[in-house]
Amino acid sequence: MEDLLAARTQMAVSLMFHILFAIAGMAMPVLMAVSEGLWLRTRDPVHLELTKRWAKGTAILFAVGAVSGTVLSFELGLLWPKFMEHAGAIIGMPFSLEGFAFFTEAIFLGIYLYGWNKVPPRAHFLAGIVVAVSGGLSAVFVVAANAWMNTPTGFDLVDGKMVNIDPLAAMLSPAAIPQAVHMLLAAYAAVGFAVAGIHAWVLLRHPESRFHRAALGIALAVGGPAALLQPVSGDLLARMVADTQPAKLAAMEGHFETRKAAPLLVGGLPDPDARVTRWAVEIPYGLSLLAYHDPHAEVKGLNDIPRENWPNVPIVHLSFQVMVGCGMVMALLALAAGWLRLRRRPLTVRWLLRALILASPLGVLGIEAGWFVTEVGRQPWIIQGVMRTRDALTPMPGLTVPLATITLVYVVLGIIVVFLLKRHVIVTVPEEGT
C-alpha cells in the first residue's frame, strides 16, 4: 500500500475508533446525571441502581477513550509532522483548552466513579454534572481544531507560509460553531438511541422490569430531542459548507454541472469519469433551496473545479446519503416516542421497542458517515486551500506496518470491550423491587 494511503487510513481508523468512546464520554455522563437527579428527588432505588450500572459501563469506555485519544495526539505528529509544524502554533490553542477540559473531566470522574461512599450525595451529583459539561467542552474545542482545517482563518499567507497568526480568530473559524453544535447533538442522539436500543432489547423479553423502563425513558428523553434538532443544525452546517467549501458541497450532492435552480439528488451513484450521478431521485430546486434557501440560487458544480482538487466523489456522496438517512429515521422515531409520551401511553409497546432495537446503531453510523463527509470531502487538502495532505506526510517509510498493527490492536480491543460490557453491565435484569 502506498504510504500516503496507509497514513490516511491509519488516521481514519484511529479517529473512527476514538469517536466511539468520545461520544460515550460526552453523553453517558448526561444520562447518569439525569438518572441520579431523579434518584435524589424521588429516592426510588431503581434510579440509583441504574446510575451505578451505567457508571460501571462508562468507566470501561472512558479508559479506552483516554488511551485512544493519547494515541491520536501522538499520531498527529507521527503521521503529519509537516502539518503540525506549520499549524501547531495556530491550533495549539484549542488543544490546550481541551487539555484542561480533559483534566477537569478526569478529576471529577475519579470522584464520581470511586467516591460513592466518600462524598455527600449532592457533591457526587455535582461531580457528575461537571463531568458532563467538561466532556462536552472538550468536544467543542477539538472540533474547533478540525473546523479550522476546513475553513482556515486567523493568519496571512505570505509565500506559502502562515504569518501574522491570530490563534483566537483561528479558533472561531466559520465552521467552528455550526460543527460543534452538530457534533454535540450527534453525540447525545447517537448514545441516547444506542442505549435505548439495548434496554428495549431486554424489555422485549421482560416488559415489566422497572429498571429497564426507567433506563429507556431517560435514554429517549436525552436522545429524542437531540435527534429532532439534528436536521436543523445539519441545515445550518450545510449552508456554511456551501459558502466556504464548494468542492465539498458539490461532492456531497453529486452535483457536476454549475447551474441555477439546482435539483437535489437523493441516492444514486456519482461517476466521476462520466461526470454524472446515475440512478438518483431528483427533487427540483431542492439543492438551491437547501444550500441557499432560494430556489433559483446558483450552485457551483464539480465541472468548474479542477479535477486535481476533487475529493473522492462517490464516497462523499454516499456517506452524506447515509448520514441524512440515519437522521431522518431517528427524527421520525423521536417523534413517535414523543407522541406516545404526550398521549401518556407507555413506551413499551412492542412496535416501538422493535423499531428502537433496529435503530440503535443508526446514530453511531450517522456519526462515522458524517465524519467521512467532512474529512474525505476536504481532500486533497489537509488545510483547505493551504496545504495538501500529501505535503504533510512524514518521510518515514513502511507506514503499512503501523497501520496493520493499530488496526489489529483496535479490533481486539473492540471485541474485548463489547464482551465485557455484555457480560458485566447490560443483559441482566436486577431483582424486582430494587
Partner 1 sequence: MELAAGLVIVAALNLYAVSGGADFGGGVWDLLARGPRAQRQRELIAHAIGPIWEANHVWLILAIVVLFTAFPPAFARVTTVLHIPLFLMLLGIIARGAAFSFRAYGDPARETQRPWGPVFAVSSLLTPLLLGVVLGAIASGTATLEAGFFASWWRLFPFAVGIFALAMFAFLAAVYLAVEAEEGEMREDFRRRAMISEVALGVMAALVLAAAGSRAPEILHDLTRTPWSWALHAVTAASALTVLFALWRRRYGLARIAAVLQVSLIVWGWAFSQFPHLVRPDLTLANAAAPPVTLRLMLGALAGGTVLLLPAFVYLFRVFGKLRRP
Considering the rule CB under 6 A, would residue 12 count as an interface residue with ligand HEM? yes
Q: Are 180 and 144 in contact (CB under 8 A)?
A: yes
Considering the rule CB under 6 A, would residue 417 count as an interface residue with ligand HEM? no
Closest separation in Å from C-beta 328 to partner 1: 36
Considering the rule CB under 6 A, would residue 367 count as an interface residue with ligand HDD? yes
Q: Can you count the helices (H) and strands (E) in the chain?
A: 14, 10
Q: Does a cis peptide bond (omega within 30 degrees of 0) precede residue 120?
A: no
Considering the rule CB under 6 A, would residue 182 count as an interface residue with ligand HDD? yes
Query: Which of residues 19, 219, 323, 373 is near ligand HEM by CB under 6 A?
Result: 19
User: Phi, psi at residue 387, to the nearest 5°?
Assistant: -135, 135
* 369-398 footprint of partner 1 as x/- string (CB under 8 A): -------------------------xxxx-
Considering the rule CB under 6 A, would residue 248 count as an interface residue with ligand HEM? no
Kind of pairing between the strands at 264-266 and 281-283:
antiparallel
SS3 202: helix
Considering the rule CB under 6 A, would residue 410 count as an interface residue with ligand HEM? no
Q: Are 386 and 152 in contact (CB under 8 A)?
A: yes
Give the count of residues interacting with partner 1 (CB under 8 A).
Answer: 66
Q: To 10 degrees, the CA torsion angle through 387, 391, 396, 398?
A: 110
Query: Where are the strands (E) in 141-240, listed by range?
Result: 156-158, 161-163
Beta bridge partners of 161: 158
Cβ proximity to ligand HDD, 50 vs 175, nearer residue: 175
Q: Pick what 432 binds: ligand HDD, partner 1, ligand HEM, none; C-beta below 5 to 8 Å, kind-dependent.
A: none
Q: Which are the contacts of 124, defined by CB distance < 8 A and separation ≥ 6?
A: 36, 111, 112, 115, 116
SS3 277: strand
Looking only at residues 20 through 49 of this chain, which bind ligand HEM when binding is defined by CB under 6 A?
21-22, 25-26
* 129-148 footprint of ligand HDD as x/- string (CB under 6 A): --------------x-----
* 214-233 footprint of ligand HDD as x/- string (CB under 6 A): ----------------xx--
Radius of gyration over alpha carbons of the chain, in Å?
23
Neighbour tally for 117: CB within 10 Å: 6
Closest separation in Å from C-beta 357 to partner 1: 26
* 187-206 footprint of ligand HDD as x/- string (CB under 6 A): --xx----------------
Query: Which of residues 38, 50, 139, 242 is near ligand HEM by CB under 6 A?
Result: 139
Give the count of residues interacting with ligand HEM (CB under 6 A).
Answer: 41
User: Phi, psi at residue 161, to the nearest 5°?
Assistant: -110, 145
Considering the rule CB under 6 A, would residue 111 count as an interface residue with ligand HEM? no
- CB-count burial class (<10 Å; 0-12, 13-18, 19+) for 311: buried
* Residues making contact with ligand HDD (CB under 6 A): 143, 150, 175, 179, 182-183, 186, 189-190, 230-231, 234-235, 237-238, 241, 248, 323-324, 326-328, 330, 363, 366-367, 370-371, 373-374, 377
